[in-house]
Amino acid sequence: MTERVEGHGGALALAALRAHGVREMFTLSGGHVFPLYDAAHTSGFPLYDVRHEQSAVFAAEAVAKLQRRPGLAVLTAGPGVTNGISGLTSAFFNASPVLVLGGRAPQFRWGSGSLQEMDHLPLVAPVTKHAETVFTADDIPRAVSAALTTALTPHRGPVFLDFPLEAIFSVGDADLPAPTPVAPVEPDPDEVTKAARLIAAAARPVIIAGSDVYAGDAVAALREAAEALQVPVFTNGMGRGALPPEHPLAFAKARRVALGDADVVVVVGTPLDFRLSFGDFGDAAVVHVVDAPTQRAGHVQPAASPAGDLRLILSAFADHTGDRADHADWIERLRTAEDAARARDAAEMAADTDPIRPARVYGELRRALAPDAITIGDGGDFVSYAGRYLEPSQPGTWLDPGPYGCLGTGMGYAMGARVSHPDRQVCVLMGDGAAGFSLMDVESLVRQRLPVVIVVGNNGIWGLEKHPMRAMYGYDVAADLQPELRYDRVVEALGGAGETVAKAADLRPALGRAFDAGVPYLVNVLTDPADAYPRSSNLA
């Protein structure tokens, strides 16, 4: 059944967007996209605006990541689109179903030098699953509908359309294509059985579950597989919290022992990239479970690599009926390592030092955060500490920038998170360096009544760069920021509130005030610049 729609290009686009479950747009004003605003305004479709296009795309990405539905950013022609490219690229690396709609200079005088005239497609094509210029109003519903289906089809990712001025401003009519449900990709059963046998027969297996497990709604299937085969589970990205921290198979801190001694490492729904030593786990056999054949690693030869719907693959693992090795001793060994590391972490999180150590900030935050709080990391070392000390207890609550590692996601992700979950705590953990990329968008949050808590780890440096540079050269340049800068006053000036905390004992009451404030609130924590997150190399 198709529905007939008519109106200007903006109205036609919005009809298709609504049909696909898009529920809001993030944007920064530009005349080239006015018809989309007109359609939203006249039909009561929520529209949020920002102070830099990167925040619009990051907000759309947060919606896509958290709600597993398409997120929409509308960017004006030329500089609007180019300012959104880091966001699009992040969405591409994160497999986030984001749609960016761009304005575009008029086609009828293309090449004559119209305002903001440039061809966006060559720029966005490498970081999108699909990029297209839609030349007539009549064609817009088809193009929007097809683009969204592409974005939602595993392996998911961003898509881009732009509309020349005359296409979006002119009136047309078209059939509104009914959204086609994305059919699950059937995995090759032989490859699934091969993988299941390997895991079941292993003496010391480990599962590492990543973002696609959450994105693919495979959290329950992951748990079934882990429980049925008795395999310890570690997580990263949006996979964090997939097993609650108290689950007997949930591990976070025993990773070194686990990956060092495992004989089979099962990586599910995340690439074999630098975060996982490029898939090199010594003598261990690797099973790489991916949501689409395109995601199989080209640089390693896994022992098995089933590709397809993660729910189907993990459920098949759970149903495996062949021989199974007993993993009780292995699990016990990892639990001992986990408990020892946890005790060390607990001591660090209680540290009463002056200046404050980041660990203590997280010790206090663990008390202040509700189990369903959304936490967002935007920064260097300060966020690495967050990854270590904060343990999401539910999946879909932890937003990091992903493998592209782009600083500046903070306020955009915060906006997307607040819009997605109006009743939950939203807390951004920010380096002082990272704050410079997006803090002006506190103004957008204040104006649109979207309260969030921002905790800045203010060490006065680009810590994740300064420490390695000193280690490498014996000196550093371009790595200092103003010490003890009052980022809380920036937020106050923008209509929010905040305070600076210099003593560990003051953290708890400050966080209490922040979560009660009802406006964007920045807790500016002066942390120790000597504190460097222990890592082998940040270039690895």
Ligand X SMILES: Cc1ncc(C[n+]2csc(CCOP(=O)(O)OP(=O)(O)O)c2C)c(N)n1
Q: Which is nearer to Mg ion, 199 or 434 (CB)?
A: 434
- Find where tokens 């800045």 sit: 456
**Residues 443 and 435 sit within 8 Å (Cβ to Cβ):** no
List the single partner that 392 binds among ligand X, Mg ion, none, CB under 5 to 8 Å by kind: none
List the single partner that 487 binds among Mg ion, ligand X, none, CB under 5 to 8 Å by kind: none
CA 166 – CA 352 distance, rounded (Å) = 63
Helices (H) and strands (E) in the chain, counts: 22, 18
Residue 294: count other Cβ atoms within 10 Å of its Cβ.
9
Residue 464 Cβ vs Mg ion, minimum distance, rounded to whole Å: 8
Residue 267 Cβ vs ligand X, minimum distance, rounded to whole Å: 24
Instruction: Measure Cα distances from 467 to 472, 474, 525 in Å.
Output: 9, 10, 20
Beta bridge partners of 2: none
Q: Which is nearer to ligand X, 184 or 529 (CB)?
A: 529
List the single partner that 134 binds among Mg ion, ligand X, none, CB under 5 to 8 Å by kind: none
**Residues 193 and 323 sit within 8 Å (Cβ to Cβ):** no
- Residue 292: both structure tokens together: 């689409």
Q: Which residues, 431 to 450, sit near ligand X by CB under 6 A?
A: 431-434
Residue 433 Cβ vs ligand X, minimum distance, rounded to whole Å: 3
Looking at 33, 185, 406, 522, which residue binds ligand X (CB under 6 A)? 406
Q: Omega into 421 within 30° of 0, i.e. cis?
A: no
**Mapping DSSP to helix (H, G, I), strand (E, B) and coil, where does residue 37 land?**
helix
Instruction: Measure Cα distances from 135 to 126, 162, 163 in Å.
Output: 21, 9, 6
Q: Which is nearer to Mg ion, 280 or 480 (CB)?
A: 480
CA 369 – CA 392 distance, rounded (Å) = 10
Ordered strands of the 205-209 beta sheet: 233-235, 205-209, 264-268, 285-289
Residue showing the smallest CB distance to ligand X in the complex: 431
Q: Which residues, 28 to 47, sit near ligand X by CB under 6 A?
A: none
Beta bridge partners of 455: 429, 523
**Mapping DSSP to helix (H, G, I), strand (E, B) and coil, where does residue 519 land?**
coil
- Residue 438: both structure tokens together: 């997006």
- 459 in contact with ligand X (CB under 6 A): yes
Q: Which is nearer to Mg ion, 150 or 459 (CB)?
A: 459
CA 269 – CA 353 distance, rounded (Å) = 40
Beta bridge partners of 290: 307
Q: Which is nearer to ligand X, 328 or 478 (CB)?
A: 478
List the single partner that 407 binds among ligand X, Mg ion, none, CB under 5 to 8 Å by kind: ligand X
From the list 5, 39, 295, 45, the residue with the least C-alpha distance to 145 is 5
**Which run of H or of E encompasses 345?**
helix 328-349
Residue showing the smallest CB distance to Mg ion in the complex: 431
Q: Which is nearer to ligand X, 261 or 432 (CB)?
A: 432
- What would the DSSP string read from start to end of 207-248? EEE-HHHHHTT-HHHHHHHHHHHT--EEE-GGGTTSS-TTST
> Near ligand X by CB under 6 A, which window of 6-14, 135-143, 286-294, 400-408?
400-408
- Find where tokens 């997120």 sit: 71
Residue 462 Cβ vs Mg ion, minimum distance, rounded to whole Å: 6
- Residue 309: both structure tokens together: 């719907």
CA 528 – CA 332 distance, rounded (Å) = 37
Q: Which is nearer to Mg ion, 149 or 459 (CB)?
A: 459
- 405 in contact with ligand X (CB under 6 A): yes
From the list 401, 380, 383, 521, the residue with the least C-alpha distance to 58 is 401
Residues touching ligand X, count (CB under 6 A): 19
The binding site for Mg ion (CB under 5 A) comprises: 431-433, 459, 463
> Near ligand X by CB under 6 A, which window of 71-79, 94-102, 139-147, 379-387?
379-387
CA 197 – CA 523 distance, rounded (Å) = 51
List the single partner that 359 binds among ligand X, Mg ion, none, CB under 5 to 8 Å by kind: none
Q: Which is nearer to ligand X, 9 or 380 (CB)?
A: 380
Q: Which is nearer to ligand X, 12 or 361 (CB)?
A: 361
List the single partner that 233 binds among Mg ion, ligand X, none, CB under 5 to 8 Å by kind: none
- 380 in contact with ligand X (CB under 6 A): yes
Residue 31 Cβ vs ligand X, minimum distance, rounded to whole Å: 29
List the single partner that 406 binds among Mg ion, ligand X, none, CB under 5 to 8 Å by kind: ligand X
Q: Which residues, 461 to 520, sit near ligand X by CB under 6 A?
A: 461-465
List the single partner that 87 binds among Mg ion, ligand X, none, CB under 5 to 8 Å by kind: none
Q: Which is nearer to Mg ion, 432 or 499 (CB)?
A: 432
List the single partner that 408 binds among Mg ion, ligand X, none, CB under 5 to 8 Å by kind: ligand X
Q: Read off φ and ψ for residue 267, nearest 5 degrees.
A: -105, 120
List the single partner that 434 binds among Mg ion, ligand X, none, CB under 5 to 8 Å by kind: ligand X
User: β-pairing, 264-268 with 398-399?
Assistant: unpaired
Residue 356 Cβ vs ligand X, minimum distance, rounded to whole Å: 13
- 407 in contact with ligand X (CB under 6 A): yes
Burial of 66 (0-12, 13-18, 19+ CB in 10 A): buried
List the single partner that 465 binds among ligand X, Mg ion, none, CB under 5 to 8 Å by kind: ligand X
What count of residues does the chain have?
Answer: 540
Q: Which is nearer to ligand X, 76 or 459 (CB)?
A: 459
Q: Which is nearer to Mg ion, 128 or 459 (CB)?
A: 459
Looking at 210, 232, 302, 408, which residue binds ligand X (CB under 6 A)? 408
Instruction: Name the site residues for ligand X (rule: CB under 6 A).
Output: 379-382, 405-408, 431-434, 457, 459, 461-465
